[in-house]
Structure 1
Amino acid sequence: MINWQKLFENRERLFWTLHTGGWAGFAVVYYIGSFLHDMRGVWLFVIGLNAMAGWLLTIPLRYIYRWARLQPLWKMLVTIAISAYFIALCWAVLKNVNYWEIYKHGYRPEVWYMYFTNTINSLIMVVCWSGLYFGIKNFQMLQKEKQNALKASTMAHQAHLKMLRYQLNPHFLFNTLNAISTLILVKDNKTAEAMVSRLSDFLRYSLDKDPIKKIPLKHEIQALELYLEIEKVRFDDRLDVSWDIADNCKDALVPSLILQPIIENAIKFAISKMQEGGKISIVARSFGRDLMLEVSDNGPGAEIENGQLKRCNGVGLPNIHERLNSLYATNHSFVVSHNQPTGIKVNIRIPFEVGEHDN
């Protein structure tokens, strides 16, 4: 079975396949067209010789045209015209020899224009060969340019995603190092040391994950648990976290650390503002072909406009919005709303995808 993809990718193989197939097709069509003219084997032999002569003579055109395509337009057109006419003339001579010497056994026509007509027919065939050659070459160039543009677009898209993903680390580090600095200032060295240890574990985990690839939700939860251990060093019993993850969602694929900025926001703007602390709830459910993720808190809440927070200079939530747009285009939703009775609720809907199980 022919592997068409490999055939079209290998330009050398593609040329010889089309070149040989084209001339074989010429022989078949020519024979069928003159079937009623003569059915003897000698006529078939002459047609085969003519096709072989055309096959051989047009090979040099490939290399001439390859050179001509690099020249200025006028030079290229002149080269093509002269080369095509010369090859057509040579082919016409060979066809005349085959026809008059082999098929007609040495008989010569007295009418001169029969030779001219044969040259015109040969030139038409060579021009058709040339047109197909340049047509296929231009098609290949367009395909290559399209592939290059697609590759460049993909690389830019991946770079954008990496930038968005890695942007979280400095943002998160800034907040965490500030907290460690505060602990050191108040001489709470034991707590600061525990926080540095958990920070190291979290960063090692996050750097091991490819920012482009999606990860199973159960791995995202592991990363969040590492992060929450860091925050629990600061808040102790003031931070209460509840998990409600459906079993069928644990292997669903999600962008890495997609929930961490939401939880970080909840801690910063809700838990830290409440003297007795507060609660963060994390829920994951499947709904049809979608995965529904929800993070909510019972804090003092905030002003919301058009499903988004009105806070200025925020990094985390706009970052999530951009990542979701880059990964899922319009096939997602990201909505911030008021939680009941108090607090903020963030809902994310993305396509339910399951990859290979990762132990």
Structure 2
Amino acid sequence: MLDTRDAFLIVISLDAYVGWLLTIPLRYLYRKVWFWEPWKMIFVVLMVALLIAMLWTVVRNFNYWEIYRHGYRPADWLLYIRDTPAAFYVMLSWSGLYFGIKYYQTLQLEKQKLLTAMNKAHEAQLKMLRYQLNPHFLFNTLNAISTLVLINDNDTANKMVSRLSDFLRYSLYKDPINKVMLEQEIYAARLYLEIEKVRFSERLGIVIELEPGTEKALVPSLILQPLIENAIKYAVASQVNGGEITIRAKTFGHDLLLEVADNGPGMSIVDGSVKVADNSDSGVGLVNTRERLAALYDNDFALVLTHNEPRGVKVNIRIPLQLEKTESEHA
């Protein structure tokens, strides 16, 4: 025969096990009522918790009398459910814990979905901004190629087609979310400028100055493109004698400084923004550039427009200095 202590431990263990078993159907029921109206859900939870509490109380008393009291049977059937209020509070507490955890999990899932949606929208926005290249560039290039073919300058036309192909391949296949090394960005800029060089010939001067070590710095792909396009349109194409475009890069502390300058007629600059009479591509390109930088670097960037000396416009970009890791650094 079991002693009193062993019998009590068995009763407690059975009570806990039965309580756990009874919560299994509760979980399935609560999953269904989770989407009901609040008052319906509360009513069902109270009724079901009371019912389960009564059933648990009957089983607990039966185990207690059968094992601890050696088969005792009370004469009054109400004694079987006499501890229902205590069991009811336990079931309510368990129900509250369940719904609390369920609410927390749902909240975290909604946050995750929101973050995913925001990231997708963020990525789509970046791609849209990056792919808003000046269509006039493509039209002008094709017209220039057509003219070269008509005058039988096939070698120059072939070179121009090859450079255009390389430039479009770079612009279309570089992910705007990922950053590229500055040397790749300069490569794309050279392709673009070489194409324009065919159009403008000696009217277009090009100067590229990179501080040693900046070639491996990471920058957003085609971030310089709209700035160079603006310089071509307003500083070169608009002048009979053309103009010169200068691209510079250097480091300052933990920042990378990029500059695109021209010696054109200049523009009206108000509060760091260029005011152009036709309100066309210049404004769109600069706004896109600023929005891309804001999306990629939050507030840790600067885009400043100033008058170039002795004449022209200068655009300066400051972004955090991030260097591409070499294989030895990865190892």
Inter-partner Cα distance in structure 1 for 2:210 and 2:269: 27
- Corresponding residue to 1:347 among 316, 324, 329: 316
Inter-partner Cα distance in structure 1 for 2:85 and 2:11: 19
Letter in 2 for 1:283: R
Aligned twin of 2:297: 328
Aligned twin of 2:184: 219
- Corresponding residue to 2:280 among 284, 305, 313: 313
How far is 1:177 from its partner?
A: 3.2
Inter-partner Cα distance in structure 2 for 1:84 and 1:180: 81
How far is 1:334 from its partner?
A: 0.8
Mapping for residues 61-100 of structure 1, pairs under 5 Å: 61-100=26-65
Pick closer, same or farther for the CA change 1:155–1:131 going to 2, 3 Å: same
Letter in 2 for 1:199: L
Inter-partner Cα distance in structure 2 for 1:39 and 1:297: 97
Inter-partner Cα distance in structure 2 for 1:181 and 1:85: 86
Provide Cα deviations, 1:22-74, integer angstroms capped at 9, x if missing partner.
xxxxxxxxxxxxxxxx9933322221111111111111111111222244445
Letter in 2 for 1:330: N
Q: Does 1:177 align with 2:142?
A: yes
Q: Secondary structure at the match of 2:208?
A: strand
Inter-partner Cα distance in structure 1 for 2:149 and 2:184: 32
Contact 1:251 1:357 in 2 (8 A): no
Inter-partner Cα distance in structure 2 for 1:355 and 1:114: 77
- Answer with 156-165 or 140-149: which moved more: 140-149
CA RMSD of aligned residues (A): 2.7
How far is 1:302 from its partner?
A: 1.9
Letter in 1 for 2:271: N
Provide Cα deviations, 1:250-289, integer angstroms capped at 9, x if missing partner.
2222111010121122122213344444322211112222
Mapping for residues 288-307 of structure 1, pairs under 5 Å: 288-307=253-272
Inter-partner Cα distance in structure 2 for 1:210 and 1:169: 18
Q: Secondary structure at the match of 2:83?
A: helix
TM-score, with structure 2 as normaliser: 0.86
Q: Secondary structure at the match of 1:331?
A: coil
Inter-partner Cα distance in structure 1 for 2:322 and 2:207: 24
Q: Does 1:257 align with 2:222?
A: yes
Provide Cα deviations, 1:156-205, integer angstroms capped at 9, x if missing partner.
11111111111116353244335445656777665444322321121112
Contact 2:62 2:80 in 1 (8 A): no
Pick closer, same or farther for the CA change 1:251–1:147 going to 2, 3 Å: same
Q: Does 1:105 align with 2:70?
A: yes
Pick closer, same or farther for the CA change 1:313–1:182 going to 2, 3 Å: farther
Inter-partner Cα distance in structure 2 for 1:272 and 1:179: 14
Pick closer, same or farther for the CA change 1:195–1:343 going to 2, 3 Å: same
Structure 2: runs of 5+ lacking an equivalent: none
Contact 1:331 1:350 in 2 (8 A): yes
Q: Secondary structure at the match of 1:247?
A: coil
User: Aligned pairs, how many?
Assistant: 321
Aligned twin of 1:32: none
- Corresponding residue to 2:200 among 230, 235, 246: 235
How far is 1:215 from its partner?
A: 1.2
Aligned twin of 2:252: 287
How far is 1:249 from its partner?
A: 2.0
Contact 2:4 2:68 in 1 (8 A): no
Inter-partner Cα distance in structure 2 for 1:39 and 1:178: 102
Pick closer, same or farther for the CA change 1:220–1:357 going to 2, 3 Å: farther
Contact 1:280 1:298 in 2 (8 A): yes
Inter-partner Cα distance in structure 2 for 1:120 and 1:347: 74
Contact 1:194 1:233 in 2 (8 A): no
Inter-partner Cα distance in structure 1 for 2:95 and 2:14: 21
Q: Secondary structure at the match of 1:347?
A: strand
Provide Cα deviations, 1:68-104, integer angstroms capped at 9, x if missing partner.
2244445433432232122111111111122222223
Q: Secondary structure at the match of 2:70?
A: coil
Identity between Structure 1 and Structure 2 (%): 57
Q: Secondary structure at the match of 2:114?
A: helix
Q: Secondary structure at the match of 1:168?
A: coil
Inter-partner Cα distance in structure 2 for 1:133 and 1:328: 41
Contact 1:336 1:344 in 2 (8 A): yes
Aligned twin of 2:166: 201
